[in-house]
Amino acid sequence: MAQAAGLHSPSLSVRGALRSLAAPRLRIWLIVGTMVVGTALHYGDALPVLSAAAADSPISLAYRQSFERILFLVPVTYAAYVFGMRGGLGTLGSAGAILLPRALMGAALDHALPEVGGVMVVGALLTLVIVQQQEDVEAQKRMHESLGYFVRQVLTAQEDERNRIALELHDETAQALLVICQRLDGLADREEDRLPIGVAGELQGLRTALVRTLADLRRLSQGLRPRILDDHGLEAALEWLADQLKEEYGIEIRVEVNTRLSGYSRNTQLLLFRIAQEALRNVARHAGAAQATISLRGGDKLTMTVMDDGRGFLVPPTLSDLAGSGRLGLAGMSERVRLLGGVLNIRSVLGKGSIVEVELPRGAASPAPGQGFSDQRSPSDARISLPT
């Protein structure tokens, strides 16, 4: 126990020192201390303690005092950075009050007073520039937060709309088609002996088309909001997605999960599924790949990798250029990863395939309950029984 405490004490002391540096009182004392030191140096030739050292200095008094006046810009700059306009101008006024008497006491008024005036002007300009830059940074920060909130709301609305459409397709459209199919079966059974051969064949063809439409509708509903994701988690949903893409495009997709996903929230798993869905559909539609692999690895961070052996593509220099280059799917993936507080890496070599890698920190962020995705039920396939 003592050994463990000894190991942690240096880091704790460093963190404590950093916290103390951020304390407002210490910042004030730093400014006051630098001003006191600057005053002592500037009036050193007039102080008994420092007069001997000032007399022995190889640098002339005029040059030394010019340098000392410039040094007063250091606490002014720091005060403007820490306390804003009032702090910078207040410290600048104090510096002027310190510098002006010494300039008037000296013999070289022709350059001392202009130097003091120059220090005051430069200090005021530095204060204005620092305050303006801080305001710009704060404005950009607020804009970034607003953009993040907007993206979160868009993704939330998108998922809610997908869920609503999936429910309507399942509960209304699919059920209506199923009723029509059952009525066709009943009509064919009742009128089997009286229907002409051509009409009976048309009814059978219509029934076959309805069954095919129901199957497509079920696949569409599942794609909008797969029930398996809510019931069995991300790994099972990825397995289902791999099977669907194999059936639809004929591409072999291997799923490798080497970590537990139950510790991640439902919304985080949903966003990861959407990222994987977009990446794998891009592989299936555009890469011309024969096989692909999606893997999830744990540890200090959760890493999800989608790798294929397709034709590859030219990756834009920055992810912000994705939307401009027309790759809206990749841009959407980037926004979802940013929403989770993670990092998206895309690497591709022409003729050798592509790698899409998502890195999420431990306890990846996901939308809060009030700002998250809808908790409405997802459509269940159990209630759609396809006629055979």
- What is the structure's pLDDT at 116? 86
Give percent of the chain above pLDDT 90: 7
pLDDT digits (tens, 9 = 90+) for 270-301: 888 888 888 888 888 888 888 899 999 887 88
- 315 vs 85: CA distance, rounded Å: 45
- What is the structure's pLDDT at 150? 75
Encoded amino acid at 329, one letter: G
Is the pLDDT at 19 greater than 70, yes or no?
no
Confidence of residue 106 (pLDDT cuts 50, 70, 90): low
Domain ranges of the chain: 1-225, 234-377
Query: How much is the average pLDDT of 164-190?
Result: 80
* 284 contacts 339 by C-beta, under 8 angstroms: no
- Terminal Cα distance for the chain, rounded: 70
Is the pLDDT at 52 greater than 70, yes or no?
no
- 340 vs 336: CA distance, rounded Å: 6
Task: Look over the chain and give the mean of its residue pLDDT values, rounded to a whole number.
Answer: 76
The helix (run of H) or strand (run of E) holding residue 54 is: helix 48-56
Which range has the worst mean pLDDT, 23-27, 56-60, 284-288, 338-342?
Answer: 56-60
Which range of 10-14, 135-139, 310-314, 324-328 scores highest in mean pLDDT? It is 135-139
Architecture of the 234-377 domain:
2-Layer Sandwich (3.30)
- What is the structure's pLDDT at 184? 81
Which range has the worst mean pLDDT, 69-83, 97-111, 241-255, 304-318?
Answer: 97-111
Query: How much is the average pLDDT of 88-110?
Result: 82
Is the pLDDT at 192 greater than 90, yes or no?
no
Confidence of residue 9 (pLDDT cuts 50, 70, 90): very low
CA-only gyration radius of the chain, Å: 36
Which range has the worst mean pLDDT, 157-171, 173-187, 231-245?
Answer: 157-171
More confident residue, 196 or 119: 119
Is the pLDDT at 343 greater than 60, yes or no?
yes
Which ranges of 57-108 does DSSP label H, i.e. alpha helix? Answer: 61-71, 73-105
Which range has the worst mean pLDDT, 6-10, 109-113, 278-282, 316-320?
Answer: 6-10
Query: How much is the average pLDDT of 356-368?
Result: 69
250: left (phi over 0), alpha (psi -120 to 50) or beta: left
- What is the structure's pLDDT at 193? 67
Confidence of residue 157 (pLDDT cuts 50, 70, 90): confident
For the entire predicted model, the pTM comes to 0.55
**What one-character DSSP code corresponds to residue 107?**
S
- What is the structure's pLDDT at 3? 40
